[in-house]
Chains A and B, each alone.
Chain A
Amino acid sequence: NAGVTQTPKFRILKIGQSMTLQCTQDMNHNYMYWYRQDPGMGLKLIYYSVGAGITDKGEVPNGYNVSRSTTEDFPLRLELAAPSQTSVYFCASTGDTLNSPLHFGNGTRLTVT
């Protein structure tokens, strides 16, 4: 049982480049989330999805885009990378009941130089 899988684990981008962070889950969860984690700043919600075809902005969506064409996949797109997007990105998913915990991927460490 793989759970939530994120790729790549590490990436270095130049300013202005684009990339997609991949996230897939095999638990048939409807809810999926993208967070970024900066030192001492906790988790900030970028985007979330409550099911295939439905996405919504979180606290810090600027500079990012998402899509949810299937239940399993929730990719995060950076169109024009900026140094402020240097961070660790976590994808998470959860089931439909209110007490379902979040299952996290192991993260993608992104550096923009």
Chain B
Amino acid sequence: GEDVEQSLFLSVREGDSSVINCTYTDSSSTYLYWYKQEPGAGLQLLTYIFSNMDMKQDQRLTVLLNKKDKHLSLRIADTQTGDSAIYFCAETYRYSRAGNNRKLIWGLGTSLAVNP
């Protein structure tokens, strides 16, 4: 079945770059997302990439997609203590021709700790 996998923990020093990795299994994915969850809060969309793209850059965030290996990564440049959070990778794909029905598959989340 469909699956999204992420490493559970990452620790970096403030000012370094962070790279959070994700692998997925479904080859019909249309969009891949990165969400951020700060303590005690819901998930917020950070960025997303369409499956026919290789890279997307948004300020300090760079998303790289390797479709052949089904590998997605999120790079955060100049990581700050405010970036400490759980980062979720998710893929979505359409499973029904009727309407716009889609499925969203989530990874377990990567807990990023930024040390001063």
CA distance A98 to B99 in the complex (A): 11
The answer on a CB contact under 8 Å between B106 and A98 is no
Closest to B96 in A: A50
Nearest-Cβ distance from residue B53 to partner chain A, whole angstroms = 12
Q: Restricting to A75-113, which residues have a CB under 8 Å from any CB of B? A: 90, 92, 96-99, 101-107
Do most interface residues of chain A lie in helix, strand or loop, or is the interface mixed?
loop
Choose one: A43, A98, A105; the contact of B100 (CB below 8 Å): A98
Q: Does A2 contact B (CB under 8 A)?
A: no
One digit per residue, 1 when the CB lies within 8 angstroms of any chain A CB and 0 when it does not, for chain B 19-45 equals 000000000001101010000111111
Choose among A40, A101, A107 the residue with the greatest number of B CB atoms under 10 Å from its CB.
A101
Determine whether the beta carbon of B92 is less than 8 Å from that of A98.
yes
A53 part of interface (Cβ distance < 8 Å): no
Inside 8 A of A98's CB, which chain B residues have their CB?
Answer: 30-31, 92, 94, 100, 102
